[in-house]
A and B are shown apart, each in its own frame.
Chain A
Amino acid sequence: MSNLVSFLVVFPLLVGVPLAFVTRGKVRNALVVAGGAVIALASLATAIAFGNGSAVFFGLPGDLEPGLAVVAAEAAIALVVIVVSLQHGRRLAPVLATAQLAIAVWLEVTGRMPAADPARLFGFDRLSMVMVLIVGIIGTLICIHALGYMRDYQRTYPQTGGRRQAFFPLLFLFLSSMFGLVTANHLPLLLVFWEVTTLCSFLLIGYTRTGETIGYAFRALNMNLFGGLGFSLAIVLLAAQPDGLDLARLTAGPAGAALLPAIALLALAGLTKSAQLPFSSWLLGAMYAPSPTSALLHSSTMVKAGVFLLLRLSPAMAGSAVGNLVAFTGLLTFLFVSFVATTEQNTKMVLAYSTIGSLGLIVGSAGVGGAELAWVAVMLIIFHAVAKSLLFLVVGTLENRLYTKDMEHFDALLSRMPRLSVLALAGIAGMFIAPFGIVLAKWSAIRAFLEVPGWQGAAFVVILAFGSALTIFYWGKLLIKVLSTQAVDAYHRSVEDRVTGFEWFAELSHAVLVVILAASLGLLSESIVGPYARGLFPGGTGALLHLDPAVVSFMVLAVLFLPALALWSWRKSAYDVNDFYASGRTTNGEHAIAAALGGTRAVTLRNYYLVGVVNGEAVFRAGIVVCGALLTGMIVAGVVLRA
């Protein structure tokens, strides 16, 4: 185990370093594909070696001690932050980074940092297994997709040409740190990996180095460093507690009052990383990064690190004021951003809001706690990772082909790009159609909230009821655009042929994964997620999936039957997409209507954005205020309860 995890952490770096010097496209392609394949296989091997049993703990190979290496790593991170920030004349980030470094040094110098148990530096349980598989497989697929995507991206943004070298090394550095993050058990070690992911995210958001993206990159950096500072403070508090820095022992059961402030600070770090309100704006800015970045960091893995930590904390905070406030923050975030998403026209932004919302559901489940909700959280992590990553990749490809991210320009996508549309449909279906995992998780969450006593339970149920309806609305609008049909000339139909093989491979694999995961939901629940949830909150019995898995499989089949039917009817029937009713006026091939006084008028159809009913910006601001107040309350509650 120890060797395998070390391999997962080290190997991506070994691939990344030579990539920084490769300039020939063919060599880069070969390196990324081969390296990715090895990483994916290694993550599978790790999962198999783990054998899906109870948690195991281990240290570095040869029982090495981390010792000063942790401080050295933090110093390196701080140095990079300070140098880059000062280059751009930014002040806040260096202050935050220096503060963190100062804390680490102070702990070490004054001898307050207790020695780590060399045999418990890392831990591996079912949740780690799930995360390792997501990072290993989805991560690899996204890297492969990026090979095709970045080639076209460079054409659109030629000014980034000189920095191409850095892109793939950063992706692999990120994979390495992510593997470390999900397996670390010693909190200071976890913090190092945590900050490396922050750094990767920062550098990737600012990839094009235009004034706009640099601003967003620093926003992301500041907010995440702020969360990291919370993490550091938590370590200070925990260093004084016996076994405080051992994550598994710390979160073995409900935290006592003495530990609550530290738990609250760790939760704060988790909330910033998973972009919950009031910190959501960094993830919105992060959408200016190239799409593979959005898929890898900002939907399927890095933001999941935040909810991963919160889920780890779940047994410790469940039932306490901290847990309740975390739950409200998450669920209200879900409600607020779903509202905002209905008014958003930029597809990538809709995906971002939906990501924040889904993360909010996970945060809410982790905050409330209990086996059922732990089950919900892990299910959401898995299904969201695959479906949302797929959507980001498809939108990325579309963006390169159509030069737009505007939902309204995806008109008649099914006619123009049938194959990409089918992939997009798979992703959207995975996000909100009935038998797929996310909806099942949402439903199970409502069921579980019914058991929560008092007004909180009622509030949770009401929030979920309205939030779900909003989700249906904004996905429905996107679906209408994708599914609309129109006559398309040969030139526009040929656009799809220019999508690269790398992109097809990655997206198709994702789509297949979406379907396979949905169909094997019962198995997944019984063998991995269920046992994990039961282990996290022992005591309950009975199935966590309140549905016959056969019903789920049947519904998946029924849903898959529709595209099959469509394909069949496509071959067979005689139809004329221009022959629509226009009050008797004739219509023609350009989707235009004969005008009364001669000539034609083009038909332009625009979705509803609830203008005049919902003001997106005001809702977002309200969300920041409300959730900000909740978080302040959370920290205060932690401190007050301790006193």
Chain B
Amino acid sequence: MSFFSRSPWILHYDGSSCNGCDIEVLACLTPLYDVERFGIVNTGNPKHADILLVTGSVNERNIDIIQNLYRQMPDPKVVVAVGACACSGGIFARAYNVQGGIDKVVPVDVYVPGCAARPESIIDGVVQGIAALEQKRAKVA
């Protein structure tokens, strides 16, 4: 086990969503779930992050932003799609401006289902993301 599994720093991006999943992600930081216990930090800056956590779907205007954020993250990095919207477009999939899940624009490593996804499953998704991170690091090294 390397340091990656003990110190995953997260960048949270919210695409086209109802903000339900967004709030569940923030709930993970609160005393009830307290993800900092696992060394998880919400960084707000792609250059510091290991895990890109996306809620909401991709639309016309945020494609390049998601791609840019992903590109600016240094390797190794993983993407976790949280909620139905991020996985497939969810209930907005048919909307005129929505392209679909975020795997349309960046490679996704972990899909967390739910509408909204529960904090427990979000944390579980991040833990699986950490495993993916470890694998990628092994490949890089």
Query: Closest CB of chain A to B65's CB: distance in Å?
Result: 4
- Once the chains bind, are A584 and B65 in contact (CB under 8 Å)? yes
B residues contacting the other copy or chain, number (CB 8 A): 11
B19 interfacial contact with A, CB 8 Å = no
A581 interfacial contact with B, CB 8 Å = yes
Q: From B65, B68, B69, B72, name the one whose CB has the most chain A CB atoms within 10 angstroms.
A: B68
Please report the C-alpha to C-alpha distance between residue A463 and residue B46 in the assembled complex, in whole angstroms.
Answer: 44
- Once the chains bind, are A581 and B65 in contact (CB under 8 Å)? no
* Residues of chain A within 8 A of B68, CB atoms compared: 584-586
Contact residue among B13, B47, B65 (Cβ-Cβ distance under 8 Å from A585)? B65
Query: Closest CB of chain B to A575's CB: distance in Å?
Result: 13
Contact flags B54-92 to A (C-beta < 8 A → 1, else 0): 000000010011101100100000000000000000000
Query: Closest CB of chain B to A361's CB: distance in Å?
Result: 43
Please report the C-alpha to C-alpha distance between residue A189 and residue B13 in the assembled complex, in whole angstroms.
Answer: 79
A594 interfacial contact with B, CB 8 Å = yes
Please report the C-alpha to C-alpha distance between residue A581 and residue B69 in the assembled complex, in whole angstroms.
Answer: 9
A579 interfacial contact with B, CB 8 Å = yes
Please report the C-alpha to C-alpha distance between residue A67 and residue B70 in the assembled complex, in whole angstroms.
Answer: 86
B135 interfacial contact with A, CB 8 Å = no
B45 interfacial contact with A, CB 8 Å = yes
Which chain B residue has the least Cβ–Cβ distance from A579? B72
- Once the chains bind, are B46 and A594 in contact (CB under 8 Å)? no
* Residues of chain A within 8 A of B47, CB atoms compared: 581
* Residues of chain A within 8 A of B72, CB atoms compared: 579, 581
* Residues of chain B within 8 A of A581, CB atoms compared: 45-47, 72
Please report the C-alpha to C-alpha distance between residue A586 and residue B66 in the assembled complex, in whole angstroms.
Answer: 10
- Once the chains bind, are B45 and A594 in contact (CB under 8 Å)? no
Query: Closest CB of chain A to B13's CB: distance in Å?
Result: 8
Which chain A residue has the least Cβ–Cβ distance from B65? A584
Contact flags A527-566 to B (C-beta < 8 A → 1, else 0): 0000000000000000000000000000000000000000
* Residues of chain A within 8 A of B61, CB atoms compared: 596
Please report the C-alpha to C-alpha distance between residue A437 and residue B65 in the assembled complex, in whole angstroms.
Answer: 50
- Once the chains bind, are A586 and B46 in contact (CB under 8 Å)? no
Interface residues of A in 578-603 (CB under 8 A from B): 579, 581, 584-586, 594, 596
Query: Closest CB of chain A to B66's CB: distance in Å?
Result: 8
* Residues of chain A within 8 A of B66, CB atoms compared: 584
* Residues of chain B within 8 A of A594, CB atoms compared: 64
Which chain A residue has the least Cβ–Cβ distance from B11? A584
* Residues of chain B within 8 A of A579, CB atoms compared: 72
Query: Closest CB of chain A to B92's CB: distance in Å?
Result: 20
Query: Closest CB of chain A to B46's CB: distance in Å?
Result: 7
Please report the C-alpha to C-alpha distance between residue A474 and residue B47 in the assembled complex, in whole angstroms.
Answer: 30
* Residues of chain B within 8 A of A585, CB atoms compared: 65, 68
Interface residues of B in 1-50 (CB under 8 A from A): 13, 45-47
* Residues of chain B within 8 A of A596, CB atoms compared: 61
Which chain A residue has the least Cβ–Cβ distance from B66? A584
Query: Closest CB of chain A to B11's CB: distance in Å?
Result: 10
Which chain B residue has the least Cβ–Cβ distance from A594? B64
Which chain B residue has the least Cβ–Cβ distance from A583? B65
Query: Closest CB of chain A to B48's CB: distance in Å?
Result: 10
Which chain B residue has the least Cβ–Cβ distance from A587? B68
Please report the C-alpha to C-alpha distance between residue A584 and residue B52 in the assembled complex, in whole angstroms.
Answer: 12
Please report the C-alpha to C-alpha distance between residue A585 and residue B65 in the assembled complex, in whole angstroms.
Answer: 6
Contact flags B87-123 to A (C-beta < 8 A → 1, else 0): 0000000000000000000000000000000000000
Query: Closest CB of chain A to B84's CB: distance in Å?
Result: 23
Query: Closest CB of chain A to B64's CB: distance in Å?
Result: 6
* Residues of chain A within 8 A of B45, CB atoms compared: 581
* Residues of chain A within 8 A of B64, CB atoms compared: 586, 594
Please report the C-alpha to C-alpha distance between residue A581 and residue B46 in the assembled complex, in whole angstroms.
Answer: 8
Please report the C-alpha to C-alpha distance between residue A594 and residue B64 in the assembled complex, in whole angstroms.
Answer: 10
Query: Closest CB of chain A to B125's CB: distance in Å?
Result: 22
Contact flags A472-516 to B (C-beta < 8 A → 1, else 0): 000000000000000000000000000000000000000000000
Contact flags A584-625 to B (C-beta < 8 A → 1, else 0): 111000000010100000000000000000000000000000
Q: From A579, A581, A584, name the one whose CB has the most chain B CB atoms within 10 angstroms.
A: A584
Please report the C-alpha to C-alpha distance between residue A586 and residue B71 in the assembled complex, in whole angstroms.
Answer: 10
Which chain B residue has the least Cβ–Cβ distance from A597? B61
Please report the C-alpha to C-alpha distance between residue A585 and residue B63 in the assembled complex, in whole angstroms.
Answer: 11
* Residues of chain B within 8 A of A586, CB atoms compared: 64, 68
Interface residues of A in 52-103 (CB under 8 A from B): none
Please report the C-alpha to C-alpha distance between residue A464 and residue B45 in the assembled complex, in whole angstroms.
Answer: 40
Please report the C-alpha to C-alpha distance between residue A585 and residue B13 in the assembled complex, in whole angstroms.
Answer: 13
Given A581-B72, A584-B65, A596-B61, 6 other A-B residues pairs in contact with their CB atoms under 8 A: A584-B66, A584-B68, A584-B69, A585-B65, A586-B64, A586-B68
Q: Which residues of A contact B (CB under 8 A)?
A: 579, 581, 584-586, 594, 596
Query: Can you report 17 residue pairs joining A to B where beta carbons are below 8 Å apart?
Result: A579-B72, A581-B45, A581-B46, A581-B47, A581-B72, A584-B13, A584-B46, A584-B65, A584-B66, A584-B68, A584-B69, A585-B65, A585-B68, A586-B64, A586-B68, A594-B64, A596-B61
